[in-house]
Amino acid sequence: MIALAVLSTGSPVASSQALKKSGYTLGSEQCGSGRLSFPRIKIDMRQGFCAGLVASEDDGLIFPRSIVQIPGHDLFVISDMGGWQRTDGRLLILDPHAADGKRIREAITGLEYPFGLAVGPDRKVYASTAEMIFRFDPLASNPRSTMEIIIHGLPGRRTTLSDGTKVAESSHSLKQFVFDKTGRIFVNVGSDSDDCIPNPGRPVTKVCPTGEGPSPLASIWMFMPPNGGVFPALKPADPNPPREIYARGLRNSMALALHLRFPEPGFAFLQGENGRDLKDFFKPNEEINAIEKGKHYGWPYCYDLATPSPEFRSVLQNGPYKNFCNDTAIYKPPHSLLPPHGAPLGMLYYHGSRFPELDGKLLVGLHGYRPAGSRVLIYDVDDHGFPKVIAPPVSYKVSCEAVPSRAFETDAGRAPAAPFEELISGWHRVNGARPRGAPVGLTVAADGAIWLVEDKNKTVIRIDRALGNAPDPLPCDMRTQAQIDELVDFVANDPKNRARLTAVRSGIIEKHCLGCHSDFALKHGQSDADKDQAALKFMLSQDGWIYPGDPDSGKLRTRLRGFGAERLMPPGGESLPKTEPGYARLLDLADYLAGTMVPGTRMKVKQGPAERDFFSKTGKICGQIPTTKVVIVTEAEGVGKPGFSRIYRPADPFLSGECTDADGYYIPKKALVPLR
């Protein structure tokens, strides 16, 4: 027997105990009933609810972002961006009653960043791309031929700021939109950058041009329909409908929700703000903003509850934004804080017969990539639709942390906030059971069931009523600090890998990555060796960034090289191999580092049988590994000895659910061949 580390997620595979699909282990349990009964997935949910897996990559999903039901039909429309390439986007039709694997068909292809979907006041389906909003008939034999553009020329990937600065790739060009009951349409026009700081680490002395002028970004634009409340179709030379800048200072309004009685005086128009990416995991908080016409909501000058952005100190001391964060006549602080870096991408008021206990409440989906994200929240609201804020302390849960909950805080201390319950909680990765969840679009079907799309794992999920007691929450199962330290020590003791790590840290991380999402634990005054270790420890603690021994599978490679559905990093990095001498070599060094940072021999499973059994040290069959998957041989005889899979790459894509990572896994030596 050979001790191994599994190093490639591969495609979902079946085992004798369970089926793997989109990273979820599916057993015999179902969620729903009749023709709307789907395999139940193991995500931690509120008592009385369950989640069924409707569609996945097997059905043709690539990068789903929004979903809406076609009025009067059992079918749904899905916007699937296809990735971050310009014209990979599609609008899809989902038939939940079709056979598994055949539930998706294409309606319109070749779209640029399709995202928003809504049913208009005329009961037609509306959709957005980066630069336009249109309606179409998804049930027509040729849906593209029915497209009618109602708004065009919105600021897209390429735009010009108020000071004449040309932006080649806007960071937030996706268009979310909502209709109110009078037919007006409110459109997110996101900021072109994270924080409007041109030189990270240096003070800003000029007003941010992004939010200025008659066509500002970082705003919500409102368009007025003619009498009757339905927008006319536009020809290419036609002007847009009348427009107002409804609210400013909103970095990226991907989550928008209107109370049914809005715009009657006093009823809620809510926005979920994706705040700036400060380095701290728990700062700043995201926000729920109560939108009022003409107000400014702070970006980039203020965050949290009126905390001035330190980089804009000069701007906030002089000129038009003097003392801005305290000027309540113009600046409106958040109605409530949301968990930090949660990334709210979906929000709606629930109205439906299936869950009367949710009627009228606010649901918020957190897509986020940090510990407070990956969940769906339930807010109790007042008679006008506003979440009920209470005095501190107000706590939120944190996945997979030593401290399982934290109180909302700002630089001034603990802060008031609206408490919430969790419809879906604990959607962190659990080996052998589920991947980490990333909810985006939410909708309520005619029967009251809640549907959501989840882009990271390429799924459509339907939430229904569950019978019996909720299963116990699943535990976290991630690399421990001791496991990370062992990997770091192995790199430190290899002169070639030390040199590779230094080059990657100085030439890629420090030059192009700092400030995007984190500081990589780098601190002023550290030695180069300490910086190397800090950066490597940080990367190894992130979910899926590095799979030691298999550079092709880690996010570090796919993001730096622009492979897969996620954005290439850094923004605009596609030009760096041509414009920056040595950058292509640095990417290769990063691959060499990931591929050689483990002891042992890289091998792969032989071609031949479709699957190969692997075992625990006690001889129990834990699952099957498909052919051609990469493994690391660490012991000549694995039985009774710990394998490195528990340290370097969990075997979770292939686990049957009968074993854990605690003791490692082993595969018969005869099943392996050298990796060439």
Q: Is 53 within the bounds of a domain?
A: yes
Instruction: Kindly state the tokens that stand for 231.
Output: 């927008």
- Do 364 and 496 fall within a single domain? no
Residue 99 CB neighbours (<10 A): 8
Domain boundary among 596, 614, 629: 596
**pLDDT higher than threshold 80 for residue 275:** yes
What pLDDT score was predicted for residue 480?
Answer: 65
- Do 221 and 289 fall within a single domain? yes
Could you give the CA distance from residue 454 to residue 490 in angstroms, rounded to a whole number? 37
- Do 638 and 578 fall within a single domain? no
Q: Is the pTM of this model over 0.95?
A: no
Q: Is 476 within the bounds of a domain?
A: no
Domain boundary among 410, 432, 465: 465
Q: Is 32 within the bounds of a domain?
A: no
Q: Residue 60: helix, strand or coil by DSSP?
A: coil
Q: How many domains is the chain partitioned into structurally?
A: 3
Query: Average per-residue pLDDT in the chain?
Result: 87
Rounded to an integer, the average pLDDT of 129-135 is: 97
Specify the CATH number for the domain of residue 185. Answer: 2.120.10.30
Q: Residue 284: helix, strand or coil by DSSP?
A: coil
**Burial class of residue 469 in the structure, from the number of CB atoms within 10 Å of its CB (0-12 exposed, 13-18 middle, 19+ buried):** exposed
- Do 429 and 537 fall within a single domain? no
- Do 150 and 242 fall within a single domain? yes
Kind plus residue range of the DSSP H or E element containing 479: none
Could you give the CA distance from residue 34 to residue 536 in angstroms, rounded to a whole number? 50
Q: Is 34 within the bounds of a domain?
A: no
- Do 529 and 584 fall within a single domain? yes
- Do 499 and 617 fall within a single domain? no
What pLDDT score was predicted for residue 473?
Answer: 82
Closest of 579, 670, 659 to residue 620, by C-alpha: 659
**pLDDT higher than threshold 70 for residue 143:** yes
Cα torsion for 440, 78, 189, 308, to the nearest 10°?
0
Q: Is 475 within the bounds of a domain?
A: no
Q: Residue 158: helix, strand or coil by DSSP?
A: coil
- Do 532 and 404 fall within a single domain? no
Walk across the sheet containing 269-273 and list its strands: 255-258, 269-273, 286-290, 336-338
Could you list the beta-strand ranges (E) of 608-671. 611-615, 621-626, 630-633, 665-667
Amino acid at 68: V
Q: Would you say 430 and 477 are in contact if contact means Cβ atoms under 8 Å apart?
A: yes
Rounded to an integer, the average pLDDT of 66-85 is: 95
Tens-digit pLDDT profile for residues 343-357: 999 999 999 999 999
- Do 361 and 453 fall within a single domain? yes
| 468 φ/ψ sector (left φ>0, alpha ψ -120 to 50, else beta) | left
- Do 583 and 605 fall within a single domain? no
Tens-digit pLDDT profile for residues 493-526: 999 999 999 999 999 999 988 866 567 888 888 9
- Do 306 and 284 fall within a single domain? yes
Among 144-148, 255-259, 484-488, name the one with the lowest average pLDDT. Answer: 484-488
What pLDDT score was predicted for residue 671?
Answer: 75
Rounded to an integer, the average pLDDT of 525-542 is: 90
Q: Is 470 within the bounds of a domain?
A: no
Is the peptide bond preceding residue 263 cis, with omega within 30 degrees of 0?
A: yes
Q: Is 26 within the bounds of a domain?
A: no
What pLDDT score was predicted for residue 614?
Answer: 75
- Do 558 and 517 fall within a single domain? yes
* Domain span holding position 413: 43-465
Q: Is 18 within the bounds of a domain?
A: no
- Looking at the chain, the whole-number percentage of residues with pLDDT higher than 90 is 64
